[in-house]
Structure 1
Amino acid sequence: EDLSTDNESIQEEIVNKHNELRRMVDPPGSDLLKMEWNSDAQENAQAWANKCTYQHSPQESRTIKDLRCGENLFMASYPASWSQAIQTWYDESKVFKFGSGPTTQGAVVGHYTQLVWNTTHQVGCGVAVCPNKPLKYYYVCQYCPP
């Protein structure tokens, strides 16, 4: 399966999946901006994915035209679709309550909140195959502004 974000249909899949999930936010986020593709963020995300570090990139490397960007990471042992990766981030919403945060102590919700952050309206992603890692498929999305 082609996962390359140079492929326009993959870019569309990523943007459409984000917008579809953002429409499902509870309570509804009427002020949520529609997501669009950012090729500078894609370039940064791809460059970081290629390093296969499996940790977040330095904040200063996620700045585009003076705009800071956030970041989500996903790793898989198989070539998961972009929609699956993005859905995994969204699924953290099950342990998140609007207005009060995580519903269980230590719950990870940062990927979800990044995905649905109301002022974020640009996304760019990249993927790399890292043969020396057990989870060799490494997905990176950057969100501007965070």
Structure 2
Amino acid sequence: MALSPAIRSAIVTQHNQLRSSLAKGLEPTVRGENAPSGKNIYKLSYDCKLEAQAQKWSNECTFQHSNIALRNASENLFWAWGNDISAVTTIPKAISWWWNELSLIGISDPQNRLTFDVFRSGVGHFTAVWMLPFF
């Protein structure tokens, strides 16, 4: 099921607002201070091919990451349940959940560099929203 243009726009807007806030040094960390400002945190645009690829994998109903060799981007998973699991409500919650790893766990590198130790510390979902696609 393809997402509507309005939902796609909301996804990009939410990502870009969060990324802009981080680039400006306005995002709180677990230490109660703001993360340092960042570099190379560019605006994102929507990729319908990536959406189709993600939907195809989602249709397999396997709650695990897809084969990294078959995608050209990082990947986050989110499981939703309850009465309202529409894309309109669930996708923004997922993005916020992933982003909040910064304020709940934090980035141990003072220069906001993604190292293997930082990734393993429990902020992998956050880094997928923060960083340009990596794999």
Which category of TM-score, normalised to the shorter sequence, fits these structures? 0.7 to 0.9
- Which amino acid in the other structure matches residue 115 of structure 1? V
- The answer to whether residue 51 in structure 2 is matched with residue 34 in structure 1 is no
Q: Using the TM superposition, give the Cα deviation of residue 145 of structure 1 relative to its aligned residue in structure 2, in angstroms.
A: 4.7
CA RMSD of aligned residues (A): 2.5
Partner of 2:67: 58
8 Å Cα contact 1:17/1:83 also seen in 2: yes
Partner of 1:77: 81
Q: Using the TM superposition, give the Cα deviation of residue 36 of structure 1 relative to its aligned residue in structure 2, in angstroms.
A: 0.6
**Which residues of 2 match residues 108-119 of structure 1 at below 5 A?**
108-117=122-131
List gaps (5 residues or longer) in structure 2. 23-34
Distance 1:27 1:47 in 2: 37
- The answer to whether residue 101 in structure 2 is matched with residue 97 in structure 1 is no
List gaps (5 residues or longer) in structure 1. 63-67, 121-143
Q: Using the TM superposition, give the Cα deviation of residue 37 of structure 1 relative to its aligned residue in structure 2, in angstroms.
A: 0.2
- Which amino acid in the other structure matches residue 8 of structure 1? P
Distance 1:145 1:107 in 2: 17
Question: Any runs of at least 4 consecutive aligned residues in structure 1 with deviations exceeding 6 A, and if so which?
Answer: none
Distance 1:71 1:24 in 2: 22
8 Å Cα contact 1:15/1:35 also seen in 2: yes
Distance 2:124 2:101 in 1: 8
What is the identity percentage for the equivalent residue pairs of Structure 1 and Structure 2?
A: 30
Q: Once structures 1 and 2 are overlaid, which stretch shifts more, 75-84 or 31-40?
A: 75-84
TM-score by length of 1: 0.67
Q: 1:9 aligns with which of 3, 6, 15?
A: 6
TM-score by length of 2: 0.72
- Structure number with greater CO (CA < 8 Å, separation at least 6) is 1
- The answer to whether residue 16 in structure 2 is matched with residue 19 in structure 1 is yes
Q: Using the TM superposition, give the Cα deviation of residue 76 of structure 1 relative to its aligned residue in structure 2, in angstroms.
A: 1.0
Partner of 2:32: none
